[in-house]
Amino acid sequence: MVSLSDLQVRSLGACTVDSPLALYVEGRTTNEYYVGETDRILYDDTLELIASRGVPLAELPTFESGGPRQKIFFDPATTKVGVVTCGGLCPGLNDVIRAIVLELNTHYGVRDVVGFQHGYAGLIESNGHDVVELTPDFVSRISERGGTILGSSRGAQDPSAIVDRLVELDIDILMVIGGDGSMRGAHNIGAEIAARGLSIGVVGVPKTIDNDIPHIGQSFGFSTAFAKAAESIKAARVEVEAAVGGVGIVKVMGRHAGFIACYAALANHDADFVLIPEVGFSLDGDNGLLALLERRVAERGSAVIVLAEGAGQDLIPASDRRDASGNAVLGDIAGFLREQISKDFANRNQPLTMRYFNPGYAIRSVPADASDSVYCARLAQTAVHAAMAGRTDMVVGRRRHRFVHVPIPFVTSGSHSVSPDGDLWLSVLESTAQPFSMC
């Protein structure tokens, strides 16, 4: 069970420097729109959950609030900040980089900000990646394009060598933008820093297009991703409605979590079936996918299946291959379903026109939409406030519209996924008229 101690964020030391943003927060107290610096944010959000803990108010699990402080740890005049982007691409990476640089420069007066190219590999000098100077002019227009101007990579690097490089370059704060694996790497870097007794902060802005990092609310880029996926679902619907026996399959990202599939399907109500890793399904039997699909096509003339890449892995042979991040390489569920559907319709002597859409790389490589751009900016600003106040080994997130600091070990201790008993999956079933069970 989560306790208050699990949510304590580590600090490099006492904050003794007057913050340039002190006037922004002076005299402000907690209200509906703002959380005071010394106030904390409840982990639980219902009376029943709170009461079930049976502990005094002061011992309830709570998060430290995000935002500017009146006193900070680092002197802006002498602070040097490094920024790195790790893992796969995601809408909004450039927005986060831009907002970090502008917040540091414009409001804190930090002029020395550099970027490391191609993920943690850029922090290893022998890899030969140049360090990039990040100025307001350099980053002013980068949010207009997708990807990351710093490049990215997967795979772990030696924390000791990384800390050697940070010391060599006089880096005071390392801002890490990446997924759960990248955050584990950030924690290892922070542990090496602590073991050496150094005062270098490590602060993360968590990134996952699958929205599967727990405790941070919705991850940046997710809104853009499911909106783009919804466009492919709409295109699939148009295609199959124009065909005889039209069946469309739209494969979207989601190794272990089906959030993109669910939200994209809800965005336009064009899906007939949504298949996600969290909810099993069968192919055969009266309530299996093949029989349900045949009936839906017979009734409506066509059908669209939205398929998360990690769904139905139990139906195909497991792979023993691993990618650069150590993740198991998924089996080709889309190819398997196309083959099985084609065989089934042929056996029934039913006409079939198959249309397959895989918008994966298009989803993750586009610029952030307006909503995500706003979110990226606010996350980046919150991360800078935390870093300048000497917080370390933590990430920023937004829990129920409040920005919070979350320890990296807590974030990386589990995963976030669609609950088959939750209201999101119920909404999907209501939208698609998909049976509650397909087993």
In this prediction, residues 102-117 reach a mean pLDDT of: 97
Distance CA 21, CA 25 (A): 7
Check residue 1 and give its pLDDT.
85
Dihedral of CA 412/413/419/422: which sign?
Answer: negative
Q: Is 155 annotated as a binding residue?
A: yes
Strands ordered across the beta sheet of 394-399: 40-42, 62-65, 402-407, 394-399, 201-206, 173-178, 80-85, 112-116, 131-133
Check residue 31 and give its pLDDT.
86
Amino acid (1-letter code) at residue 151: G
In this prediction, residues 73-96 reach a mean pLDDT of: 96
Q: Is 130 annotated as a binding residue?
A: no
Check residue 36 and give its pLDDT.
86
Instruction: Kindly tell me if the per-residue pLDDT of 185 is higher than 80.
Output: yes
Q: Strands 246-252 and 131-133, how do they pair?
A: unpaired
In this prediction, residues 176-199 reach a mean pLDDT of: 95
SS (H, E, C) the chain: CCCHHHHCCEECCCCCEECCCHHHHCCCCCCCCCCCCCCEEECCCCHHHHHHHCCCHHHCCEEEECCCCCEECCCHHHCEEEEEECCCCCCCHHHHHHHHHHHHHHHHCCCEEEEECCHHHHHCHHHCCCEEECCHHHHCCHHHCCCCCCCCCCCCCCHHHHHHHHHHCCCCEEEEEECHHHHHHHHHHHHHHHHCCCCCEEEEEEECCCCCCCCCCCCECHHHHHHHHHHHHHHHHHHHHCCCCEEEEEEECCCCCCHHHHHHHHHHCCCCEEECCCCCCCCCCCCCHHHHHHHHHHHHCEEEEEEECCCCHHHCCCCCCECCCCCECCCCHHHHHHHHHHHHHHHCCCCCEEEEECCHHHHHHCCCCHHHHHHHHHHHHHHHHHHHCCEECEEEEEECCEEEEEEHHHHCCCCCCCCCCCHHHHHHHHHHCCCCCCC
pLDDT tens-place string over residues 341-358: 999 999 999 999 999 999
Write b or e for each residue in 71-87: b if 16 or more Cβ atoms lie within 10 A of its Cβ, otherwise e: ebbbebeebbbbbbbbb
Q: Is 173 annotated as a binding residue?
A: no
In this prediction, residues 321-339 reach a mean pLDDT of: 79
pLDDT tens-place string over residues 260-306: 999 999 999 999 999 999 999 999 999 999 999 999 999 999 999 99
Check residue 209 and give its pLDDT.
87
Q: At what angle do helices 289-300 and 333-347 cross, to 10 degrees?
A: 60
Q: Is 386 annotated as a binding residue?
A: no
| pLDDT tier for residue 212 given thresholds of 50, 70 and 90 | confident
Q: Is 209 annotated as a binding residue?
A: yes
| pLDDT tier for residue 320 given thresholds of 50, 70 and 90 | low
> Contact, 262 vs 276, CB < 8 A?
yes
- Which of 394, 439, 396 has the alpha carbon at shortest distance from 420? 439
List 114's β-bridge partners, or say none.
82, 133
Neighbouring C-beta atoms of residue 161, cutoff 10 Å? 15
Check residue 324 and give its pLDDT.
58
> Contact, 35 vs 439, CB < 8 A?
no
Task: Give me the catalytic one of 210, 212, 272, 372.
Answer: 210
For the chain, domains (ranges, CATH) are 4-220+368-399 (3.40.50.450), 225-361+420-432 (3.40.50.460)
Instruction: Kindly tell me if the per-residue pLDDT of 3 is higher than 70.
Output: yes
Specify the residue for token string 């390489």.
329
Check residue 275 and give its pLDDT.
98
Instruction: Kindly tell me if the per-residue pLDDT of 319 is higher than 90.
Output: no
**Catalytic site includes residue 344:** no
| pLDDT tier for residue 414 given thresholds of 50, 70 and 90 | confident
Q: Is 254 annotated as a binding residue?
A: yes
Amino acid (1-letter code) at residue 122: G
Instruction: Kindly tell me if the per-residue pLDDT of 217 is higher than 90.
Output: no
